[in-house]
Chain A
Amino acid sequence: MDTKDLLVWSIPFFPMLGAILLGVFGKYLKNYAGYIGSISIVISFLFSVALFITVASTHGFTAILYPWIYASTFKTNISTYIDRLSVIMLVMVTGVSALVHIYSIGYMKGDKGFARYFSYMNLFVFSMIMLVLANNFLLLYVFWEAVGFCSYILIGFWYEKKSASDAAKKAFIVNRVGDFGFGLGVMLIFVSTGTLNYTSVFGMMPSLPGYLVTIIALLLFAGAVGKSAQFPLHIWLPDAMEGPTPVSSLIHAATMVTAGVYLVARCHVIFSYSPFASHVVAYIGGFTAFLAAFIALTQYDIKRIIAYSTISQLGYMFMAVGIGSYAAGIFHLISHAVFKGLLFLTAGSVMHAMSGELDLRKMGKLYSKMKITAVTFIVGALALSGIPPFSGFFSKDAILADTFNKGYYILWIMGEVTAFMTAFYIFRIIFRVFFGESHVDPSVHVHESSKVMTIPMIILASLAAVVGFIGIPPFDHSLFYLFLHRDFQNSFVFSPFVNYYPWFLLSSISVLAGALGIYTAYLFYIKQAFDTEKIKRIFKPVYELSFNKVYIDEIYDQLIVTPLKNFSVYLWRVVDTFVIDGAVNGLAQGFASFSGRVRRVQNGMVMSYALTLMIGVIALLAYYFIK
């Protein structure tokens, strides 16, 4: 193990150590738990930056810790694969995590499970780091599930609440549905290539038949759909908002849910050999982006709106990686992590100030009382809406321009419409929460959050303002693109650029869409230019559809959950108890009743036994003589 390896392994080591320490000794650590939990992540962040610098100046490498599963021809190691993609993810994950951990010290103050919370969070960061570092599909799968598990325990952190424990279970199970596909994909990869190492697998791809590559890619994508909450498995993410807000910020906005995008980008070789699978990725992404934004329009719960927004933005990322613009997808992933993490943290700050209230209808005019929160929220919202010079503008525009340039006009239109809706719903929050009339319950004492919470928010807000500049100059001349280019050069371009339109033309359309969204929200909620009730009535079916989340939960419940439950009860009550056990018990009863009759022969009378004996002897003799 040389120093570089040591550097790599120390990144996951500290969060793991933190998780164990806090898990075992949490009770005795009291308030120090928060500091220990945060310091471990900060250390890990510093090491990540060091690794980033190392890799940026040299090249990627592999580090093996120990042989893991060796069964016959199946061989996998615990080992890492470091390239520019993984270090960039690593810096983002540990950086956002560190800020969220610090924020949590303030947010979770006084909670009974303070140490438990930080233990879980450290465990999550450890798993996420390992997910990014893994150098083979099995290890990736392991930590893929591990982050899902961390998400499960953190969503259900306040397990006394039925809604929280239900949401946690739902998240885990829905993710499992996706992982079912992912698992099959991993198996298929092993069966068709005989290995699970990234480099070897990618090297084998050209020699595999096309349909096999497509199946592999689609199966892997099934996992991504689950983890990144894409349609049709997006239903868990809004419910996941039952967890503490920093959890939503870190896991359900910045890091874990982006793992699906990371997966597709990591497997870009596989996807680029299957245009069909890539298109499936792109269109599912585009549809999800649209659908989620549509649902977000009418919701009242701040966190849920932002959750739908996350789903929608993840849709953009899938759109990007689906059309082969991997760098643009990862760029949006990074900038989204920053501004969406920020939005959740500020929403948490609002929630903190409002004693847990999240309903838009019960807020208003908070700007004067919590300026820092309001300003940082607006920064995040501008970034999300794609208003220059905030980060979202650069990254979202990179995606939209690529869809247009590569000739995916339907996706482009969906993307622009989504951009409009995005700006609308996020400014709907701003106008209803920070401005307008106050509907706040007078008994609630609204106050700005403590420094430990506002400082991470300010840092993220500044990042959200500037991080986009790594995306200039536009398209594939940008700093970011050039940095990642080396990792993606093996991907085979199946859709050559149709055309380069002037970037400012496309950008101004997107900016216009965003600005229009903001203006519409302004008309609705500040000017009150329209009678909202009337509009609701006119568009009733559409409004109802959006308000009820397109009824997807209900459809699943009616089509899958209830029939499955009924079928299971049927299996138990009828097949198991009645048919199989009935047959067994019936057989036993048959024997019992038969022998119940036969035993009457044994009547206790010696004479009758003697007679039987005699008859037997005579019969035998008769038989003997006759023969």
Chain B
Amino acid sequence: MDINAYLIVAGILFSIGGLGVLIRKNLIVVFMSLELMFNAANLGFVAVSGYLNLISGDIFVIFVMVVAAAEAAIALGIAIAFYREKGTINIDKANELKW
């Protein structure tokens, strides 16, 4: 099994996600980019896990998915609350916590 292909895909996914987080202003899109980074990491986990014939990577993936799901619920809740407060979901407007 050629692990490199998996890892390259994971790397590309991660980079796309990272760029998305850095560039996009829409809270939902940023959040989706973040999910993309998670899944890139998950892909890496399963790939290596399969390559080394271990199970711990798979377990980790399950973990991450569970945490990500919980996090998604909270994050979307925050997004809604934020929208109610500001009337927008542009994250540049969320800059009050500074200095």
Interface residues of A (CB under 8 A from B): 599-600, 602-607, 610-611, 614
Pair A610/B98 contact, Cβ less than 8 Å? no
User: How near does chain B come to A371, taking the closest CB pair, in angstroms?
Assistant: 95
Is B91 among interface residues, defined by CB-CB distance under 8 A? yes
User: How near does chain A come to B76, taking the closest CB pair, in angstroms?
Assistant: 16
Find chain B residues with CB under 8 A from A614 CB: 18, 22
A599-B92 Cα distance, complex, nearest whole Å? 19
Residue of B nearest to A603 (CB): B98
Pair B99/A606 contact, Cβ less than 8 Å? no
Pair B18/A599 contact, Cβ less than 8 Å? no
Contact (A599, B94) CB under 8 Å given A607-B22, A614-B18: no
Pair B92/A605 contact, Cβ less than 8 Å? yes
User: How near does chain B come to A601, taking the closest CB pair, in angstroms?
Assistant: 9
Find chain A residues with CB under 8 A from B97 CB: 604
Residue of A nearest to B25 (CB): A607
Counting chain A CB atoms within 10 Å of each CB, the highest count among B18, B30, B91, B94 belongs to B18
Pair A607/B92 contact, Cβ less than 8 Å? yes
Residue of A nearest to B27 (CB): A606
Q: For window 47-91 of chain B, which residues contact chain A by CB distance below 8 Å? A: 91
What does the 1/0 interface line of B1-45 toward A look like (CB < 8 Å)? 000000000000000001001100100001000000000000000
6 A/B residue pairs, CB under 8 Å, sorted by A: A599-B99, A600-B99, A604-B94, A605-B92, A606-B30, A610-B22
User: How near does chain A come to B93, taking the closest CB pair, in angstroms?
Assistant: 10
- Assuming A604-B99, A607-B22, what are 17 further A-B pairs, CB within 8 angstroms? A600-B99, A602-B99, A603-B95, A603-B99, A604-B94, A604-B96, A604-B98, A605-B92, A605-B95, A606-B91, A606-B94, A607-B25, A610-B21, A610-B22, A611-B22, A614-B18, A614-B22
User: How near does chain A come to B35, taking the closest CB pair, in angstroms?
Assistant: 15
Considering the complex of A and B, which 3 residue pairs feature the smallest CB-CB distances, nearest first?
Answer: A604-B98, A604-B95, A599-B99
Residue of B nearest to A607 (CB): B22
Find chain A residues with CB under 8 A from B92 CB: 605, 607
User: How near does chain A come to B79, taking the closest CB pair, in angstroms?
Assistant: 13
A567-B97 Cα distance, complex, nearest whole Å? 52
A610-B18 Cα distance, complex, nearest whole Å? 9
User: How near does chain A come to B82, taking the closest CB pair, in angstroms?
Assistant: 12
User: How near does chain A come to B18, taking the closest CB pair, in angstroms?
Assistant: 6
A614-B30 Cα distance, complex, nearest whole Å? 15
Residue of B nearest to A617 (CB): B18
User: How near does chain B come to A603, taking the closest CB pair, in angstroms?
Assistant: 5
A600-B98 Cα distance, complex, nearest whole Å? 8
Contact size class for B?
Answer: 10 to 19
Residue of A nearest to B21 (CB): A610
A276-B49 Cα distance, complex, nearest whole Å? 104
A473-B96 Cα distance, complex, nearest whole Å? 108
Interface residues of B (CB under 8 A from A): 18, 21-22, 25, 30, 91-92, 94-99
Pair A607/B91 contact, Cβ less than 8 Å? yes
Find chain B residues with CB under 8 A from A604 CB: 94-99
Residue of B nearest to A611 (CB): B22
A606-B89 Cα distance, complex, nearest whole Å? 13
Find chain A residues with CB under 8 A from B30 CB: 606
Find chain A residues with CB under 8 A from B21 CB: 607, 610
Contact (A602, B22) CB under 8 Å given A607-B91, A607-B92: no
User: How near does chain A come to B75, taking the closest CB pair, in angstroms?
Assistant: 12
A603-B97 Cα distance, complex, nearest whole Å? 8
User: How near does chain A come to B7, taking the closest CB pair, in angstroms?
Assistant: 15
A158-B22 Cα distance, complex, nearest whole Å? 86
A610-B34 Cα distance, complex, nearest whole Å? 11
Find chain B residues with CB under 8 A from A602 CB: 98-99
A606-B79 Cα distance, complex, nearest whole Å? 14
Counting chain B CB atoms within 10 Å of each CB, the highest count among A605, A606, A614 belongs to A606
Find chain A residues with CB under 8 A from B98 CB: 602-604
User: How near does chain A come to B23, taking the closest CB pair, in angstroms?
Assistant: 8
Find chain A residues with CB under 8 A from B94 CB: 604, 606
Find chain A residues with CB under 8 A from B91 CB: 605-607
Find chain A residues with CB under 8 A from B96 CB: 604
User: How near does chain A come to B40, taking the closest CB pair, in angstroms?
Assistant: 14
A605-B94 Cα distance, complex, nearest whole Å? 7
A250-B95 Cα distance, complex, nearest whole Å? 86
Counting chain B CB atoms within 10 Å of each CB, the highest count among A600, A607, A611, A614 belongs to A607
Find chain A residues with CB under 8 A from B18 CB: 614
User: How near does chain B come to A309, taking the closest CB pair, in angstroms?
Assistant: 80
User: How near does chain B come to A621, taking the closest CB pair, in angstroms?
Assistant: 12
Find chain A residues with CB under 8 A from B25 CB: 607
Residue of B nearest to A618 (CB): B18
Residue of A nearest to B98 (CB): A604
User: How near does chain A come to B19, taking the closest CB pair, in angstroms?
Assistant: 9
Find chain B residues with CB under 8 A from A611 CB: 22
Find chain B residues with CB under 8 A from A607 CB: 21-22, 25, 91-92
User: How near does chain B come to A610, taking the closest CB pair, in angstroms?
Assistant: 5
User: How near does chain B come to A160, taking the closest CB pair, in angstroms?
Assistant: 61
A614-B22 Cα distance, complex, nearest whole Å? 9
A610-B92 Cα distance, complex, nearest whole Å? 13
User: How near does chain B come to A552, taking the closest CB pair, in angstroms?
Assistant: 67
Find chain B residues with CB under 8 A from A606 CB: 30, 91, 94
Find chain B residues with CB under 8 A from A600 CB: 99
User: How near does chain A come to B39, taking the closest CB pair, in angstroms?
Assistant: 18
Find chain B residues with CB under 8 A from A610 CB: 21-22
User: How near does chain B come to A370, taking the closest CB pair, in angstroms?
Assistant: 90
User: How near does chain B come to A362, taking the closest CB pair, in angstroms?
Assistant: 81
User: How near does chain B come to A256, taking the closest CB pair, in angstroms?
Assistant: 72
User: How near does chain B come to A2, taking the closest CB pair, in angstroms?
Assistant: 86
A607-B26 Cα distance, complex, nearest whole Å? 11
Find chain A residues with CB under 8 A from B22 CB: 607, 610-611, 614
Residue of A nearest to B30 (CB): A606
A600-B92 Cα distance, complex, nearest whole Å? 16
User: How near does chain A come to B38, taking the closest CB pair, in angstroms?
Assistant: 15
